[in-house]
Structure 1
Amino acid sequence: MISLRYTAPGLLHWFTSLALAFCSATLLPTAVAYDCPDTAPDDASVEQLAERVAAWDEAYYQRGERLVEDALYDQARQRLERWQVCRGKRSAATPHEPGGPLHHPVAQTGLSKLDDQASLARWMQRRQAHSLWVQPKVDGVAVTLVYERGQLVQAISRGDGERGSDWLPHLRQAPHVAQRLTAPYPARVVLQGELYLRLGDHVQAEHGSAGARSAIIGLMARHAWQTEDAERVGLFVWDWPDGPAGMQQRLDRLAAWGFEDSVAMTQAVTRAEEVATWRQRWYRGALPFATDGIVVRQSQRPDAEAWQAAAPAWAVAWKHPAQQAMAEVRGVEFRVGRTGQITPVLRLMPTVLDDRTIRRVSLGSLAQWQRHDIRPGDHVTIRLAGLTIPQFESVLTRREPRPPLDAPDPAAYHPLSCLRLSPGCESQFLARLTWLSGPDGLDMAGIGEGSWQRLIDAGLIEGLLDWRILDPAQLQQAHGVGDVRAAQWHARFSAAEEQSLTSWLVALGMPSVAPEALQDASGTLSLAELRQRAVVDWRAQPGIGEVSAERLAAFFHHPRISEWLDTLSDSVAR
């Protein structure tokens, strides 16, 4: 067994030397001229966001821990800088790490980041005279490898781009990092690339980074490796600074030396649409490593001696769609569902997630809102759940003083509340109508929430069954309803009268119950018999507990429900 003990100073040295390697090629922000809002952010929000960003920086640069995704970090830092500049304060500088004891033979450059395909198209348009190539942006740690006479003699962490730490002792044990190059080879070869955690069929869109970057950081920080540690480390070569002038010639030699993955995933492109296709393929397809975007490179670059530890003009990054983002809350809506459940919904400033614009996110329950007490002006983090549904994650900042917000009283809403339209009942009443006409109710094709809202706005409906007495002429009083649509709606309403008794009961809000529990002793469905049942009678039915029995009895004995049941035709009631 090889000892894995650490000394505190040694561990800190490893983590600090890894800091810039933490980003395979550092994404460098460009200067921004901010448009300041008419209303300045409150002091509390600025202080809270500054503290949050500082905590992320401390974890990232001092302990090698990545607490948030890059997209959220970039967004939060840019928001903080905007607030500080607009308040007349100097924005906080982005932390940088010291280099290590070894000089890079060729400086490790950074990368500028483009926001979208249109920006990439403009970048490529300015480089039409050059051949361009796209690669996945591997999510690991950057490294420089030096081969002399075909033998690996140096492995240097990125550090500050000019100097880094010695990783050769570790990489001499890594079976997936070439120790010797196959002849022919120049006397000296300098390769730049990415050490990554080897994964099996990793799909970035489904699994995210899966902690891969943190894991490789941890491996490189260990004083000694076991055999299984060395097996987990892979290498992606993304450049050969002192190699042949043309990319294809460089790729041919890399292929001969055994860097097949690097060669297979470096593809020639001429249009931004091609790059977007590769980005989607690598984002949604299986790869042996985690990625966080793509990189587009020119084939022709300056001589290696001219490279600097800064973003070059000949390469650029386009990150994967963000799956976690910071969003400002514009308002909070409280939607009351058909059964009286209250669902708070956050109205957000437009926020992009996975190339989609998100404007609303549900909190799921009133208890969730009460727990977090989210108000307009707060900033929250959201992410996509199951790749499709936006989901609230946490509160980043809270506006002070807290804006007033009237939340509904949960005691006022239940399965039998809001059977008629009245103040405070707008949401639940509309939900009842939508359920009534839906496929689980009376199945009125083409009659949905928007249809009912038009009839409500026109003052044509105040009770759940008022639509039964409307004629086509009255229906045309609703906004946007002409004679053709009025005739269609009237036909749907008339057809609903012929639906089965069970469909009517479900449409009116009867609690869910097995069909056999509705039958009498002779196996017949009788409305008269159902209306006579007490709680004890419902409780005697198989599969019905005390709560369900009480709700069923309350439904059939409710005065307004009874009034509606009286109006059903004999053919339906039987």
Structure 2
Amino acid sequence: MQRFSGLLLIPFMGQLAAQASCPNWSDNEAQQQLEQLNQQIQHHNQLYFVQQKPVLSDHEYDALAKQLQVLSDCFPTIQLSEGTPQRLEPDSNGNRKIQHALYMSSLRKAESEQDISEFLKQVFSASYHSGVMLQPKIDGIAVELVYEEGKLTTASTRGDGIKGNNILAKVKAIPTIPHEINALYSKIVLHGELFVRLDLWDNKGNIKDNYSSARHFVAGVIHSKTPEISALEVLDFFPWTFWTGTPAKSLSENVNELYTLGFPLPTQFTEPVTSLEDVIKKRDLLQKQADRLPFLMDGIVLKVNSAAQQLAMRTSIQYPYWALAWKFPPETAVTSVQDIDFKVGRTGNITPVLALKPVELNKQNITSVSLGSLDNLKSKDIAIGDQVAIALKGSANPVFSKVVFRNPQRKHPKQPEPEQYNSFTCLSLAPGCEEQFIARILWLVRRLELLGLDEPIIRKLVSNRQLQSLKDVLTLSKEQLQEAGSSREQAGYYRSAIALTGSQPMGQQIRALSIPYIGKARSAKLGKAFSDWDSLLQAKDKELQASAGVAEWTILPLRQFLQTPENQALIKTLKQLNHRQ
């Protein structure tokens, strides 16, 4: 895996600026925004390449880099400071730079299935094609090995593609890389990925503790002045370019020859693909098998098999046109915070909710994510305008991951006062009470199994002031329901459900009121001990304690809650419905 400055990323399809509208900023504002983002990227470059302690995933980093490229295209006259040098690796440890035998280019990145489809169509349209091969996109560091007369003579990191750090002594300490091979050719140049063998890495607890992950371990070891031999012993090499000076007929032929030279991995992990569906199937299978493979992967690479077709499709200074990388679906998505809303629950708990610029993750369109509590909002320091990373919990529920970029013009929202809400507040509609009141209505409706009254209808009824108290839930007419958006059939179901409310178990009715400190189990016990509302309201403290296990300190709030005018009105309506049964 290699990181570039955002200004060097080259997507497969068109210019990024065409994919997004440019902000309406003044020159000063644009300078400030771009420079702040640029400094953030340079900071993460330093964490990744020099300190080997990154805090962003590759996808999160790429999102920042792409954003900088888009904005730079929007404001081409803006000059940014270089900050940390735009390089791919540190060279401060004294490693000598050496010239590569062959230029080490990058790979184009596919952004969608359409990119893959167009690539396959281009390859298969040639009458002389011999197919497309798929290999894993291994996550390590790119290196060049050169064998002369069968002996390993140089080894270097990718560097700038022309020169890289000399790592020959370290590579010779890696047991899986042969010092000598059959001298079939006078000179053999291999480009490939140096990576951590995960099966060996798992047994290196004393070494791995200093690194955030296996991918950063290999970079740290190779860039170290004096790496431990035991650290080098867990590394391996996957060659993906094989040059001898004598043209090969195909990639598959190269793979077979690499096997005879002592590099077996390409033979195990190179396979043909015949269609887009085949590519998707094999990509998904590789991702599912990731925890059983000896290396980290972040996607797949498609390559033209025929050497003649590779030549015909050409190679630029940036990348070969006959190869295409396609990363696995990201585990996180990066988007911007457009607003921060505050939801007040039925018991008065306040939950901040980030309103997000819509982003797709695992085929889900995500527009909001909950932060759980005001403490989380404060501790994570999130504001409107920030860039945040979102993940999926259990592949289903979106959750906040981290702040990726704090906008210099970020705005903190006005927060509600926690003291304003509790278990006794908002039992009826009042200024500032809409959210908690709606939450109470939703709880009541669901616990009483009143079908046909969902949240949008409830909000419309509250907005029309046709729901102003808890008891109003049980007195709504069909006409009111239909005016709020219910169908005639739904309104009929709801009225029928109200008529049956009196037959609901007493414990269920108690639970529906959301009495403080009285949960599901205690509601059931109270319902079993007291068959109607009058007997519960008249019960002595000792009866409540003995029959339902109500703690002494909760009896007073229980009585106070049931004696509120709003709950008295609701209980009166429930009693009337009970008497009709």
The bucket for the TM-score relative to the shorter chain is 0.7 to 0.9
How far residue 509 of structure 1 moved from its aligned partner, in angstroms, is 1.0
1:110 aligns with 2:106: yes
**Residue type of the alignment partner of 1:111:** L
1:59 to 1:476, Cα distance in 2 relative to 1, 3 A: closer
TM-align CA RMSD: 3.7
The one-character-per-residue Cα deviations of 1:120-151 (angstroms, maximum 9, x if unpaired) are 22233223224222222111011222334544
Secondary structure at 2:191 match in 1:
strand
1:501 to 1:39, Cα distance in 2 relative to 1, 3 A: farther
Number of the residue aligned with 1:14: none
1:430–1:452 CA contact under 8 A, matched in 2: yes
The whole-number CA distance in structure 2 between the counterparts of 1:190 and 1:354 is 40
Map 1:13-412; keep pairs closer than 5 Å. 28-30=9-11, 32-33=16-17, 35-39=21-25, 45-87=33-75, 88-90=77-79, 95-96=86-87, 100-128=96-124, 129=126, 130=129, 131-181=131-181, 185-200=184-199, 211-226=213-228, 228-242=230-244, 244-286=248-290, 287-301=293-307, 310-371=318-379, 374-388=382-396, 389-394=398-403, 396-400=405-409, 403=411, 405-412=413-420
**Residue type of the alignment partner of 1:126:** Q
Give the structure with the higher percent helix: 2
1:382–1:394 CA contact under 8 A, matched in 2: no
Identity score, percent: 28
Map 1:433-452; keep pairs closer than 5 Å. 433-438=441-446, 441-452=447-458
Number of the residue aligned with 2:207: none
How far residue 297 of structure 1 moved from its aligned partner, in angstroms, is 1.4
The one-character-per-residue Cα deviations of 1:64-100 (angstroms, maximum 9, x if unpaired) are 4434222222221332344345444135678135895
How far residue 537 of structure 1 moved from its aligned partner, in angstroms, is 7.5
1:486 aligns with 2:475: no
2:383–2:411 CA contact under 8 A, matched in 1: yes
Instruction: List runs of 5+ in structure 2 lacking aligned partners.
Output: 202-210
The whole-number CA distance in structure 2 between the counterparts of 1:409 and 1:460 is 28
The whole-number CA distance in structure 2 between the counterparts of 1:542 and 1:62 is 64
Number of the residue aligned with 1:563: 569
The whole-number CA distance in structure 1 between the counterparts of 2:418 and 2:330 is 36
1:45–1:397 CA contact under 8 A, matched in 2: no
The whole-number CA distance in structure 2 between the counterparts of 1:495 and 1:408 is 39
**Residue type of the alignment partner of 1:211:** S
Number of the residue aligned with 2:205: none
The one-character-per-residue Cα deviations of 1:296-343 (angstroms, maximum 9, x if unpaired) are 212245579x97752221212222223344422221211111111111
The whole-number CA distance in structure 1 between the counterparts of 2:333 and 2:116 is 22
The whole-number CA distance in structure 2 between the counterparts of 1:221 and 1:312 is 28
The one-character-per-residue Cα deviations of 1:275-308 (angstroms, maximum 9, x if unpaired) are 233332222323222122222212245579x977
How far residue 216 of structure 1 moved from its aligned partner, in angstroms, is 0.6
1:465 aligns with 2:467: no
Secondary structure at 2:470 match in 1:
coil
Secondary structure at 2:56 match in 1:
coil
The whole-number CA distance in structure 2 between the counterparts of 1:437 and 1:184 is 81
**Residue type of the alignment partner of 2:449:** D
1:505 aligns with 2:510: yes
How far residue 215 of structure 1 moved from its aligned partner, in angstroms, is 0.5
Secondary structure at 1:357 match in 2:
strand
The whole-number CA distance in structure 2 between the counterparts of 1:380 and 1:43 is 22
1:534 to 1:154, Cα distance in 2 relative to 1, 3 A: farther
The 10-residue stretch of structure 1 (49-58 or 391-400) with the greater mean CA deviation from structure 2 = 391-400
How far residue 112 of structure 1 moved from its aligned partner, in angstroms, is 2.1
How far residue 572 of structure 1 moved from its aligned partner, in angstroms, is 5.0
**Residue type of the alignment partner of 1:90:** Q
1:408 to 1:546, Cα distance in 2 relative to 1, 3 A: farther
How far residue 254 of structure 1 moved from its aligned partner, in angstroms, is 2.8
How far residue 502 of structure 1 moved from its aligned partner, in angstroms, is 0.8
**Residue type of the alignment partner of 1:484:** E
The 10-residue stretch of structure 1 (56-65 or 501-510) with the greater mean CA deviation from structure 2 = 56-65
1:275 to 1:542, Cα distance in 2 relative to 1, 3 A: same
Number of the residue aligned with 1:8: none
The whole-number CA distance in structure 2 between the counterparts of 1:192 and 1:374 is 43
The whole-number CA distance in structure 2 between the counterparts of 1:22 and 1:169 is 25
**Residue type of the alignment partner of 2:318:** A
1:199–1:288 CA contact under 8 A, matched in 2: yes
Secondary structure at 1:506 match in 2:
helix
The whole-number CA distance in structure 2 between the counterparts of 1:124 and 1:499 is 63
Larger RCO (CA under 8 A, 6+ residues apart): 1
1:293 to 1:534, Cα distance in 2 relative to 1, 3 A: farther
TM-score after normalising by structure 2: 0.81
The whole-number CA distance in structure 1 between the counterparts of 2:78 and 2:520 is 66
1:262 to 1:555, Cα distance in 2 relative to 1, 3 A: farther
2:147–2:187 CA contact under 8 A, matched in 1: yes
The 10-residue stretch of structure 1 (83-92 or 276-285) with the greater mean CA deviation from structure 2 = 83-92
2:194–2:235 CA contact under 8 A, matched in 1: yes
**Residue type of the alignment partner of 2:425:** S
**Residue type of the alignment partner of 2:103:** A
1:359 to 1:254, Cα distance in 2 relative to 1, 3 A: same
Secondary structure at 2:498 match in 1:
helix
1:61 to 1:522, Cα distance in 2 relative to 1, 3 A: closer
2:283–2:300 CA contact under 8 A, matched in 1: yes
How far residue 355 of structure 1 moved from its aligned partner, in angstroms, is 4.8
1:334–1:407 CA contact under 8 A, matched in 2: yes
TM-score after normalising by structure 1: 0.82
How many residue pairs get aligned? The number is 541
Secondary structure at 1:164 match in 2:
strand
2:72–2:78 CA contact under 8 A, matched in 1: yes
2:511–2:523 CA contact under 8 A, matched in 1: no
The 10-residue stretch of structure 1 (307-316 or 215-224) with the greater mean CA deviation from structure 2 = 307-316
The whole-number CA distance in structure 1 between the counterparts of 2:545 and 2:31 is 59
Map 1:410-429; keep pairs closer than 5 Å. 410-429=418-437
Number of the residue aligned with 1:3: none
Number of the residue aligned with 2:206: none
2:315–2:321 CA contact under 8 A, matched in 1: no
1:458–1:477 CA contact under 8 A, matched in 2: no
How far residue 499 of structure 1 moved from its aligned partner, in angstroms, is 0.6
The whole-number CA distance in structure 1 between the counterparts of 2:509 and 2:200 is 51
How far residue 345 of structure 1 moved from its aligned partner, in angstroms, is 1.0
The whole-number CA distance in structure 2 between the counterparts of 1:214 and 1:65 is 8
The whole-number CA distance in structure 2 between the counterparts of 1:536 and 1:370 is 44
The whole-number CA distance in structure 1 between the counterparts of 2:106 and 2:526 is 77
Instruction: List runs of 5+ in structure 1 lacking aligned partners.
Output: 1-19, 203-208
**Residue type of the alignment partner of 1:168:** L
The 10-residue stretch of structure 1 (263-272 or 145-154) with the greater mean CA deviation from structure 2 = 145-154
Secondary structure at 1:465 match in 2:
helix
The 10-residue stretch of structure 1 (511-520 or 455-464) with the greater mean CA deviation from structure 2 = 511-520
The whole-number CA distance in structure 2 between the counterparts of 1:521 and 1:162 is 80
Secondary structure at 1:419 match in 2:
coil
